[in-house]
Every structure is written in structure tokens, then in C-alpha cells.
Amino acid sequence: MQQQTRLALTGFLSTSVTYGPARMGFGLFLPQFRESFALSSETAGLIASGAFFAFVLTVVLAGAMTARTGPRAPVVLAAMLAVAGMALVAGAQSTGMLAAGVVLAGSSAGLSWSPFNNASNRLVPAPARPGVLSTVSTGTTVGVALAGALALAAAFTGVGWRAVWALFAGVGVAAGLVAASALRPLAGGDGFGAQGRDIRALLSRDMLPLCLAAGAFGMTAAIYISFAADWVVRSGKMAVLPPDAVGPVLFMAYGLFGLTGLFTGALERRLGLVLLLRVIFLCAAVSLALVALVPGILAAVIVSAGLQGICVMTISAVLSFWSARLFPAMPAWSFTAALLAVATGSVVGPAAAGIVMTRVGTPESFLAAAALALISAAVLRSRRIRTAPADPA
């Protein structure tokens, strides 16, 4: 039990840094970045998509590194990339430097999560894995909430955004040191084809619903975290908060409500996988519609951010244990495939949304994302989804 707890907390800290400020800090501070670097919506969308594209590359690298060296090396490398990227953002003097820092920091997320599927398979009994993996994934919420709190404190104390990003980098150093120590016993990989395992099995029909759900989730979530705070500020309708406080409040609600992800395993046991997924996508649609239509009502914005946090954290945990159940012999690779689908949607989403915002309008881009979430909820059917390995022929 002590070993399980240590693993869960190490993963929690790792994802809190890499999926918190390293991955989502750009959206949190986009209003300030617009002012400091004169960013257009299209440029902001391209920077966000660039970070998510780097995430695609490191997701693949994480699978290869975990198979060859075990989970410790990719998780420690993730912390190093997060620290380097956030430090670069803190010292950025041009749009190019800002973009490079955001991309480097965002790449860290691809390395920090899937290795814990491998680690949990080695150390944690099967019945306890959903709980451990839910804890790992929910680290994001704490990272986002704390990042929002720091940004809020900076807004009311006059401390600049650069100091906050420097502090983010310092926390990343601590996360790397913890991971290096806690994962030391898990040396050595499991190979690419050991014991008859073959990653070509991931091309099976059973993987298609998972990847489609992951891709849709990636698109809608990336659009929200990249542009929601910026839109609330640019709409000019939020009279009860100063502009610099909007992003922090929104992301704090996102993170705190996202703690619901800790209970994903229990929710899935009660509702079943398919119904849980449909509820998640329906809530995502409501979240996107609220921020599109009523950006000037604080309560609605908080509900929108909270729903988005709940959706992101619960579906993140679902993808983790769903993929592990389908391919228990190669949990890191199956989750890597799921994350690739998420990453693909994340690359397409912000870039497309930035173009729509410039040429049509910002509310329309959020409503289009809400429509995608509704379609995803509608097409999910129990008969199309397998939640366990297929029986051998």
C-alpha cells in the first residue's frame, strides 16, 4: 500500500507541473501575452497548436523510452523540458522566444503521464489501478488551480507574469527530483515485442471508439484552455473582475472542480463506461456554450470552467484505464495511442479555432466546439465499445 501511495503521489506531482502550468499556462496568461507581444488570435492559435504538436512527438518518445528504459527516464526528462520551457517564457523578449518556451514547456506533458501506466502495471494490483491512475491524472487539477492562484496573487500585488513563470520553473525542478528518487526501483523496460506483444495489435477495431473519443476530447479541451480566458477578457462584458484576474479565477475553478476526477473509478463502476462518456461530452458542450454566450456573467463563467475541469479530468482518467484494460500486456503503448489521438485533436483545435475567430467570430468557434461535443455524445453506443481484451480466436 505504501508503494502504491508513493507511486500515485509521484504521478500526481508530475502531472500537476507538466499538465498544469507547463501545458495550460499559455491560455491562463494569454491576455497578458497579447499585451506584451501584440499577439493576434491566429498567432496565438498557432503557438498553442505548436505546443500541442510538440506534445504529439513526445508522446511517441515516451512510449519508446518507457519500453526500453522503464518509466523513470521519460518522467525525469519531462520535468527537465518543463523547467527549460517555463524559464524561457519567463525571460522571453520576443514572440519567437515566447513561442519557443511555450512549445518546449508543452512538450513535457507528452512524457510525463503514460509511463505511469507502465509503473502501475508493475507495482499495483489490478483492482487498485483505476484509483491510482485517477490520482495521477488528477494532478493536473491541482497544478492548474495553484497556477491560477499564483496568477491571481500576481494580479492583485502587481507582481509581473515573468516572476510567476520563474516560480513555475522552480516547482518543476522539485517535481523532477521527486520522480528521479521515487521511480529509481523501476529500472529497465519491457521491450517492444517481448512475450509475443506487438504494437500492431493497437490497430484493432476495439481501439477505434477510444481514439475517436480521445480526438474529439483533445479538440474541444484545447480550444477551451487556449482561448476561454482570453475571450472573457476581450468581450469586455466582465465588469466585476479586473482583466488580469479573469484568467486566474477561470483556471482556479477549472482546477478545483476537476478534483472530481479522483472519483472517476467510482463513477465508472456506478454508471458504466458508455454512460459516463456521454455525460462527460454533454457537460463539455454546456461548458463551451456558456463561455460563448454569457462571458459577462461571473457565475456562468465559473460554472463553465468548472464543468470543463470536471470533463477533462474524468475523461483523462477514463482513457488511462480504458486503454490499459483493452491491452493489459502493453499498457504504456495503448495509452500512448490514446494520447496521440488526444494530441492530434489538440493540434487541430486551436489552429482551426484561431482562424474561425478571426474570420467569423469567437463565440461561433466555441459553439462549433460545443456541437462537436454533442455529436460525440450522440454517437457513443454500448454495442460499439469494448472495455476488455477480445477473446482469443
Domain assignment of residue 19, given as a range: 2-186+203-381
**Which tops the pLDDT comparison, 60 or 297?**
297
**Within 13 Å, how many C-alpha atoms sit on residue 67's CB side?**
21
In whole angstroms, give the CA distance from residue 110 to residue 77: 10
Tell me whether residue 390 is in a domain.
Answer: no
User: What pLDDT is recorded for position 327?
Assistant: 78
- Quickly count: other Cβ atoms within 10 Å of residue 77's Cβ: 20
Identity at 7, one-letter amino acid code: L
Tell me whether residue 166 is in a domain.
Answer: yes
CA-CA distances (angstroms) from residue 323 to 134, 140, 340?
Answer: 13, 19, 12
| 213 closest CA partner among 341, 325, 389 | 341
User: What pLDDT is recorded for position 325?
Assistant: 79
Tell me whether residue 258 is in a domain.
Answer: yes
User: What pLDDT is recorded for position 31?
Assistant: 87
User: What pLDDT is recorded for position 24?
Assistant: 86
Tell me whether residue 386 is in a domain.
Answer: no
Tell me whether residue 273 is in a domain.
Answer: yes
User: What pLDDT is recorded for position 60?
Assistant: 84
CATH number for the domain harbouring residue 54: 1.20.1250.20
**Which tops the pLDDT comparison, 262 or 196?**
262
- Residue identified by cell 517555463 is 86
Confidence of residue 195 (pLDDT cuts 50, 70, 90): very low
User: What pLDDT is recorded for position 164?
Assistant: 93
Q: What are the tens digits of pLDDT across the range 210-244? A: 888 999 999 999 999 889 999 999 998 998 888 88
Tell me whether residue 196 is in a domain.
Answer: no
Q: What are the tens digits of pLDDT across the range 309-325? A: 999 888 888 888 788 77
| Tally of domains in the chain | 1
Q: What are phi and psi of 116, to 5 degrees?
A: -75, -20
Tell me whether residue 387 is in a domain.
Answer: no
Tell me whether residue 392 is in a domain.
Answer: no
In whole angstroms, give the CA distance from residue 52 to residue 155: 27
- Residue identified by cell 489552429 is 351
Confidence of residue 140 (pLDDT cuts 50, 70, 90): confident
Q: What is the mean pLDDT of residues 247-263?
A: 88
| 89 closest CA partner among 77, 74, 101, 105 | 101
In whole angstroms, give the CA distance from residue 31 to residue 273: 38
pTM of the complete model = 0.79
* 58 and 111 Cβ atoms separated by less than 8 Å: yes
Q: What are the tens digits of pLDDT across the range 325-360? A: 787 777 667 877 888 898 889 889 888 998 899 889
Please give the grid coordinates belonging to residue 87: 524559464
Say what percent of the chain tops pLDDT 70.
92
User: What pLDDT is recorded for position 134?
Assistant: 75
Q: What are the tens digits of pLDDT across the range 54-71? A: 988 898 888 788 888 889
